[in-house]
Amino acid sequence: MSFSALGLVPALSRAVAKLGFSAPTAIQAAAIPAVLAGRDVLATAQTGSGKTAAFCLPLLQGVLAGAATLPHRVRALVLVPTRELAVQVGGVLQQLARTLDRPVKVAAVFGGVSINPQMMALRGGADVVVATPGRLLDLLQHNAVSLAAVNTLVLDEADRLLDLGFADELAQVLAALPARRQNLFFSATFPPAVVTLAKGLLHDPLRVAVEAESPAEPAIVQRVIEVDAPRRTQLLRHLILTGGWERVLVFVATQHAADQVAAKLNRDDEIYATSFHGGLSQGARAQTLDEFKDKRWDVLVTTDLTARGIDIVQMPVVVNYDLPRSADDYVHRIGRTGRAGECGLAISFVSADSEAHFRLIEKRQKLKLLRERIAGFELTQAAAIAAPGNGGVKGKRPSKKDKLRAAAKTAAESA
């Protein structure tokens, strides 16, 4: 199927060709005609599915149609959870807009940087605004932007917007929008709060879910390697060097761990690693990302907070040094690799302490992955995995149930 068959105007079909997209992904094929027809859309979509272009293309076409009557009044608003995603989505829109025969102005606004340049940028108006909710509210309070003419709202990574605590800001932004508008809702996961938000926003939406077996779904090879927790850095170094990996994203549990692991990997001149997390200033984060994109770093050690907003094409390897807290986070993390058809590798380290937790992730994801061992890094604590009697995990405190069971057993034995 071609992009023009979806109803896109020739200028936009040419724009996607320029981006190197030869055929629409599953979500693009489903969403673009519906958005062009004016329908609300509720999409279950991960990063890597092509969701950004799925809303950017029809959104620009809509703006283009009204450009003559409402020049530079904000007609499309895209709300995103992070600065990185704002920059990424703004970049895609700007790239596409450049190829159009009428000027369409796109502004990306986000917190953590000075508000003044953003106010200046909005001075002559804008057709499309991509924003994080907090900064958008600041701009509204400064009368730097008006949302009175918005006819299309996009919520991108809605689950993440709520995760990051933007519920109140979101409600305030929604209150500033015209009631009659088209709503496009994209989320990777649908916990109850997201379902409630979607129900309140959408009218008879087209539901689009990108199925796992879709050809557009990225090919990700998932591997699990057993290793004693204290030897993970050594194993990581070994894998990076023997695999000749040059672009690796490593997930750890805390900002402190990110700094520590990066420092340890960096110890000699063989691997160039740096940390990337919410504790760094916006300027430092932007600089690190630029440097990583320029291949100055081989390894970026990061936390979940920033995991979803980063778009780095050709991220061949993702490593779960510390396991994610939830199965949803696991999906997000490994979604950083194998983007849009490229093949990716996702490796998770499990130790005696984390094996039980990984089994839960597998259960939620309906997965059963082989446990691998690497010569020289065999698990010495393996024998201790199953504590006798309670099926628990060595090193873990007994749960309330374990204690009750033990008490019942003692009582039965002494009876």
Alpha-carbon gap, residue 399 to 411, rounded angstroms: 18
The sheet with strand 299-302 has its strands ordered as 273-276, 299-302, 248-251, 317-320, 344-350, 220-226, 371-372
Near ligand AMP by CB under 6 A: residue from 29, 40, 41, 52: 52
**Amino acid code (one letter) for 168:** D
Interaction between residue 313 and ligand AMP (CB under 6 A): yes
Return the structure tokens found at 296: 């100055």
Least Å distance, CB 17 to ligand AMP, is: 10
**Residues 6 or more apart whose Cβ sits within 8 Å of residue 393:** 352, 353, 355, 356, 385, 386, 387
Q: To the nearest whole angstrom, how small is the minimum distance from the Cβ of residue 50 to ligand AMP?
A: 3
Q: What is the separation, in whole angstroms, between the first and last Cα of the chain?
A: 74
Report d(CA 61, CA 35) in Å as an integer. 10
| Minimum separation from the CB atom of position 154 to ligand AMP (A) | 12
Query: Does residue number 189 form part of the binding site for ligand AMP (CB under 6 A)?
Result: no
- For residue 351, give every residue at least 6 positions away whose Cβ sits within 8 Å of its Cβ, in sequence order, or none: 226, 227, 228, 229, 232, 379, 381
Could you give the CA distance from residue 338 to residue 345 in angstroms, rounded to a whole number?
7
Question: Given the complex with ligand AMP, which of 27 and 129 has the nearer CB atom?
Answer: 27
Q: Which of 340, 369, 382, 387 binds ligand AMP (CB under 6 A)?
A: 340
Span of 43-51, 68-76, 318-326, 407-415 interacting with ligand AMP by CB under 6 A = 43-51
The least CB distance from residue 340 to ligand AMP, in Å, is 3
Element (H, E) at 130: strand 128-131
**Residue at 386: amino acid letter:** A
Query: Is 48 near ligand AMP (CB under 6 A)?
Result: yes
Measured from the CB atom, the residue of 169 and 217 that comes closer to ligand AMP is 217
Does residue 47 touch ligand AMP according to CB under 6 A?
yes
Q: How many CA atoms lie within 13 A of 291 on its CB side?
A: 16
Dig out the tokens for 21 from the structure. Answer: 């997209």
- Asked if residue 221 lies in contact with residue 372, where contact means CB atoms within 8 angstroms, the answer is no
**Between 50 and 81, whose beta carbon lies closer to ligand AMP?**
50
- Count residues contacting ligand AMP (CB under 6 A)? 15
Q: Binding string, 260-299, against ligand AMP, x = CB under 6 A? A: ----------------------------------------
Distance CA 1, CA 7 (A): 12
Strands 248-251 and 317-320: parallel
Per the CB < 8 A criterion, the answer to whether 101 and 15 are in contact is: no
Residue 49 is a binding residue for ligand AMP (CB under 6 A): yes
Binding flag, residue 205, ligand AMP (CB under 6 A): no
Would you count residue 335 as binding ligand AMP (CB under 6 A)?
no
318 near ligand AMP (CB under 6 A)? no
Closest distance of CB 55 from ligand AMP, Å: 9
Q: Which residue has the tokens 């995103």?
A: 80
101 near 67, Cβ under 8 Å?
Answer: no
* Binding-site string for ligand AMP from residue 11 to residue 30, where x marks contact by CB under 6 A and - marks none: ----------x--xx--x--
Q: Binding pattern to ligand AMP, positions 129-168, x when CB under 6 A?
A: ----------------------------------------
Q: Which stretch binds ligand AMP (CB under 6 A): 49-57, 138-146, 230-238, 352-360?
A: 49-57
With respect to ligand AMP, which residue has the nearer C-beta, 68 or 313? 313
Does 339 sit near ligand AMP (CB under 6 A)? yes
Name which of 48 and 355 has its Cβ closer to ligand AMP: 48
CB 338 within 8 A of CB 220: yes
Give least dist CB 346 to ligand AMP, A: 16
Closest contact distance (angstroms) between CB of 306 and ligand AMP is 15
Per DSSP, helices labelled H in 365-399 are none
CB of 63 to ligand AMP, least distance (A): 19
Q: Which residue is nearest to ligand AMP (CB)?
A: 340
Query: Is-contact 109 130, C-beta < 8 A?
Result: yes
Binding site for ligand AMP (CB under 6 A): 21, 24-25, 28, 47-53, 311, 313, 339-340
